[in-house]
Amino acid sequence: MTATVFRKGLNLKHAVAGTLADDYHSELIEQIKNSDFIWQDGRLIVHLAQEFGFCYGVDRAVDYAYQTCVRFPESRVFLTGEIIHNPKVNTRLRDAGVSFLSDSGQSVEHLTKSDVVILPAFGVTIELLEQLDRRGCTLIDTTCGSVLNVWKNVKRYTEDGFTAVIHGKVHHEETRATASQALLAKDGHYLVILDRKEAELLCDFICDRIGIDQFENTFREACSPGFVPSRDLKRVGLANQTTMLMSESLEIGELIRDAMVDRYGHNVLSEHYRAFETICSATQDRQDAITTLLNTQQFDLAIVIGGYNSSNTRNLARICADSLPTFHIADADCLVSENEIRHRPANKRNQEGPDNSSEVISRNWLPSAGAVSVAVTAGASTPDSIVGDAISRLSTFANS
């Protein structure tokens, strides 16, 4: 059997527009946007970053999911996993009757040709796509265009005999899907590196400064099957998970480039190293916007809103934490009181941590007297409604 695939929506945008607005629109956020992204209520002054929240790819994915429920009311509708990294959005889809194949008790093997499966904005692995195709079910593909662009470059690298080195999180859905693209080429390989520290270790191996044991201790779970470092790191092409921190990706690229020059010489660099910038524009716009805001104003604290397993939200929190006290919260409920806040530490390094296990509680987080100036931003998976609720609750506590 072969699956039927929809990649450009279901021509029902008008039918779900009202529901989407009811679920995710915020009058307060519209008011703040229309006031030059500044809002004052009593002693609280909120400066909202001029690029924040839902990006085009996320908005499109959620829109397609809602359209799917309208188009196939008599079919079982599944998601392979989270549509985006926002708990409330995923809960809303569950409430609408969408089942998640990632849940306990669900399995691809139970699907039939009458079922409908939504592929998330992150994309899915080649292996899973082949399994779904064999089941013959209808697929609604919401994979983001920026992710597809990364896949194109990874495939080009490996087809030309270069190992794809991916700056990303090895267990992240997007990175797993991207890595699988490398295996489409004959003898294609990949290596995933998390950060500058791992990039430096990779460079040390390329330049013969460390041995194979130290390399394998770090990267055993982060490379393709049959990976032979001495063979597969002679020619590498750099790509990124689209939501990583741009400045870190650039640093990593320079480190690997310099290592290849040291090992093989500048004259033959193009034979050993390639790079193509694959951070998505929405991720970069949100990073640039909060950086600009922090460079032009003085703030008492920053609030960053978004799912704890959202990579782009975590990186916004990292940017803010370099300058001032920063609280990464999942939603308005994390603002417990004027004296207590639940949040994820901005410098916490664990790779995924999607649940509340990564939360901590801080006290006396809100200045108790005088004007309070707060920088606010939100990750690309965070709808306006959640941002608006958080700002409203922040105002209540600041003025209590």
Neighbour count for residue 363 (Cβ, 10 Å) = 10
Q: Pick from 174, 173, 168: which is nearest to 149 by CA?
A: 174
- Going across the sheet that includes 163-167, the strands are 190-193, 163-167, 236-240, 273-275
Residue 296's H or E segment, with its range, is helix 281-296
| Extended beta strands in 196-339, E state | 236-240, 273-275, 301-305, 326-329, 335-337
38 burial (CB, 10 Å; 0-12 / 13-18 / 19+) is exposed
Residue 159 annotated as catalytic: no
Is 122 in a helix, a strand, or coil? coil
Token pair 């489409």 in the structure block, residue: 184
d(CA 190, CA 237): 9
26 Cβ contact list (under 8 Å, min separation 6)? 383, 384, 385, 387, 388, 389
Neighbour count for residue 211 (Cβ, 10 Å) = 10
d(CA 199, CA 260): 13
What are the tokens at 325? 């006290």
| Extended beta strands in the chain, E state | 4-6, 38-41, 44-48, 77-79, 99-100, 116-119, 138-141, 163-167, 190-193, 236-240, 273-275, 301-305, 326-329, 335-337, 340-343, 360-363, 372-378
Of 51, 82, 174, 359, which residue is the catalytic one? 174
d(CA 303, CA 155): 39
**C-beta of residue 24 within 8 angstroms of C-beta of residue 384:** yes
Residue 266: DSSP 8-state: G
d(CA 84, CA 53): 12
Is 302 in a helix, a strand, or coil? strand
Residues with catalytic annotation?
174
